[in-house]
Amino acid sequence: MIEKLSRLFVRTLRDDPVDAEVPSHRWLVRAGYIRRVAPGIYSWLPLGMKVLQKVEGIVREEMLAMGAQEVHFPALLPREPYETTNRWTDYGDNLFRLKDRRGNDMLLGPTHEEIFTLTVKDMYNSYKDLPLSLFQIQTKYRDEARPRAGVLRGREFVMKDSYSFDIDDAGLDASYQAHRDAYVRIFDRLGLNYVIVSAMAGAMGGSASEEFLAVAPNGEDTFVRSPGGYAANVEAVRVAPPEALSIDEAPEMTVVDTPAAGSISAVVDFLNAEHPQSEPWTADQMLKNIAYVLTRPDGTTEPLIVGLPGDRDVDAKRLEAVFEPSTVAPFNAEDFEKHPVLKVGFMGPVDAAGQAVLGEESASSIRYVVDPRIVTGSHWVTGANAVDQHLTGVTMGRDFTPDGVLDVADVRDGDPAPDGSGPMQLARGIEMGHIFQLGRRYADALGLKVLDNNGKLVTVTMGSYGVGVSRAVAAVAETTCDDKGLCWPLELAPYQVQILATGKDAAVFEEADRIAGELSQQGLDVLLDDRKASPGVKFADGEILGMPIIVVVGRGLADGVVEVRNRATGARSEVAVADAVSAVLELAGA
């Protein structure tokens, strides 16, 4: 087909949108693919629609090919099922809530586990009905705290979500694997450079879980990879704890006056100056304790102290991921006032008399959890719970016993992979898809049971699988665009070819028309820039709009040639007019 730019509903913009943080956002808006209506809420214009529909098409084909059946469930939903699974509360501020005219609570679906579970429960009652996989490509609503980067993180967005229903764990494994295979085909066809990483299950609950991340420096997710094939979202990394040490070999606990040394580096410097030993004191011998307030979705709070080696920091995203749907914030001055036992800069699990200060069983009864590197027999320099005092030789398992382990320290380039497969490297990515085994959580909560082959009622086991369809448009744009504009791969471009008729000669427009007609007949989609605009404007727009092949019909026509450009590589060649169509077809691989 042929579309003429003179009638296409599009306006390219010369300036970047003020809120554009990443190139894909800038170019999708400037090229007239999407338009902002409110923060995180975008309209799709004709060019954007075409790309979105192509992504949808690929996702739909692959889901149907793996045997899932397409449905479309409402986005506007009643409260009750979400109340039953606790997600009305757990989703917190991320849930868009509203009331109907009768005052009933409603919500705009952020994800649809509840409704799929209930619908299957209504319709099916036997193992013979399973396995079943259902999917939809539908608009989701999440009142994201930080809508960002255009449609990359919207508050309204298009997701493909699917749900599998099986009678037993083996069935779930097979459904999960079938989805995983389909996702590999989908992201291959989208042309994304992606990695599959172990993930945290998050608010959905459940066990086995992997994410598909498009490798991109602007991505919000950090993941690690090792030479031996370990790959995980940094949130899901579980540090392999070192071997426990012998308590008998630990030094005595000793009080040290550390005047005004309330930070790790100040204590290290002070000890090296005033109490030197054969090996200098280092930050990784310190036990750093940080106080947090945990706020549950119902608004109740609880203090929590995290202990970790002094050379490490808490990774906020890893911490958040562990406690989701609760939120975690560092103690502020007011919190410290409420807990006078905690001395800023001098916190530690015991005092100089050896009395426990932190921990549920201690006088403070504040929960105390430590990094997995803090193993039995390891000894530390830490605060003495008195201003200007520290303790050395504080030994885990002898002088203190924490309430548990919390693995939230920052993960660094070169840290060993937990499975022994070598040093980990960090990189960033955009989460494109997430697959996970929900197990029986939703089926249990909502009573989805079927009769097994012995006539016994058993609870169905489920999986849940998402692809960010609108996000994929932005992710492809993000990983393909350059400093001049968008740069679509052939399979996703709104049109494979853009023809620029430059100049005023009627012959130029006639020839451009003719070439467009022939290409269209050959099955290509063609965008014809037939506007009465300067060549400079047309060249610039051609680059911004990002069709993979650009044909320039202009000055060269007098000599019988046109120019064929590859938008992605920038390669240009002059070809005889008569060869223009075949040159384009070759580039298009048609």
User: Taking a C-beta distance cutoff of 8 angstroms, is the pair 375, 311 a contact?
Assistant: no
Give the largest CA-CA distance in the chain.
97
Q: For residues 448, 454, 455 and 456, what is the CA-based torsion angle, rounded to 10 degrees? A: -50
**In terms of CB distance, is 141 or 380 closer to ligand ATP?**
141
**In terms of CB distance, is 467 or 550 closer to ligand ATP?**
467
Indicate the angle between helix axes 23-30 and 469-480, nearest 10 degrees: 100
Binding flag, residue 112, ligand ATP (CB under 6 A): no
CA distance 584 to 586: 5
**In terms of CB distance, is 154 or 548 closer to ligand ATP?**
154
Cα distances from 261 to residues 49, 138, 274, 448, 485, in angstroms, run 60, 57, 12, 60, 53
**Looking at 112, 189, 434, 440, which residue binds ligand ATP (CB under 6 A)?**
434
Q: Is 43 exposed, middle or buried (0-12, 13-18, 19+ CB in 10 A)?
A: exposed
Retrieve residue 330's tokens: 């560092």
State in angstroms the smallest separation of the CB of 316 from ligand ATP. 14
- Among 3-11, 378-386, 394-402, 427-435, which window interacts with ligand ATP (CB under 6 A)? 427-435
* Residues sharing a CB contact under 8 Å with residue 18, sequence separation 6 or more, in sequence order: none
**Looking at 33, 135, 157, 183, which residue binds ligand ATP (CB under 6 A)?**
157
Q: Compute how many residues bind ligand ATP; rule: CB under 6 A.
A: 16
Nearest residue to 117 (alpha-carbon basis) of 132, 97, 139: 132
Binding flag, residue 423, ligand ATP (CB under 6 A): no
**In terms of CB distance, is 153 or 189 closer to ligand ATP?**
153
State in angstroms the smallest separation of the CB of 215 from ligand ATP. 15
**In terms of CB distance, is 158 or 486 closer to ligand ATP?**
158
E strand map for 346-481 = 367-370, 379-383, 389-395, 404-405, 425-439, 449-451, 457-459, 461-468
**Looking at 134, 319, 369, 432, which residue binds ligand ATP (CB under 6 A)?**
432
Binding flag, residue 154, ligand ATP (CB under 6 A): yes
Indicate the angle between helix axes 469-480 and 46-65, nearest 10 degrees: 110
**In terms of CB distance, is 110 or 359 closer to ligand ATP?**
110
**In terms of CB distance, is 324 or 518 closer to ligand ATP?**
324
State in angstroms the smallest separation of the CB of 148 from ligand ATP. 9
State in angstroms the smallest separation of the CB of 142 from ligand ATP. 5
Binding flag, residue 433, ligand ATP (CB under 6 A): yes
State in angstroms the smallest separation of the CB of 202 from ligand ATP. 6
**In terms of CB distance, is 112 or 343 closer to ligand ATP?**
112
State in angstroms the smallest separation of the CB of 64 from ligand ATP. 19
The H-or-E segment that residue 58 falls in is: helix 46-65
**In terms of CB distance, is 297 or 468 closer to ligand ATP?**
468
State in angstroms the smallest separation of the CB of 546 from ligand ATP. 21
Cis before residue 423, ω within 30 degrees of 0?
no
Cα distances from 297 to residues 56, 83, 87, 98, 319, in angstroms, run 34, 13, 10, 18, 16
**Looking at 111, 117, 382, 389, which residue binds ligand ATP (CB under 6 A)?**
111
Binding flag, residue 127, ligand ATP (CB under 6 A): no
The residue assigned the tokens 């007239």 is 32
3-state secondary structure of 448: coil
**Looking at 144, 335, 513, 525, which residue binds ligand ATP (CB under 6 A)?**
144
CA distance 574 to 234: 50
φ and ψ at residue 447, rounded to 5 degrees: 75, 40
**In terms of CB distance, is 202 or 397 closer to ligand ATP?**
202
State in angstroms the smallest separation of the CB of 51 from ligand ATP. 15
Report the residue number whose CB is nearest to ligand ATP: 468
**In terms of CB distance, is 222 or 496 closer to ligand ATP?**
222
Retrieve residue 567's tokens: 């938008």
**Interface mask toward ligand ATP for 453-492; x: CB under 6 A:** -------------x-x-xx---------------------
Binding flag, residue 142, ligand ATP (CB under 6 A): yes
Using CB under 6 A, which residues numbered 173 to 202 contact ligand ATP?
Answer: 202
User: Taking a C-beta distance cutoff of 8 angstroms, is the pair 28, 49 a contact?
Assistant: no
Residue 112: half-sphere exposure toward Cβ, Cα within 13 Å: 30
- Summarize as ranges the residues that interact with ligand ATP (CB under 6 A): 111, 142, 144, 153-154, 157, 159, 202, 431-434, 466, 468, 470-471
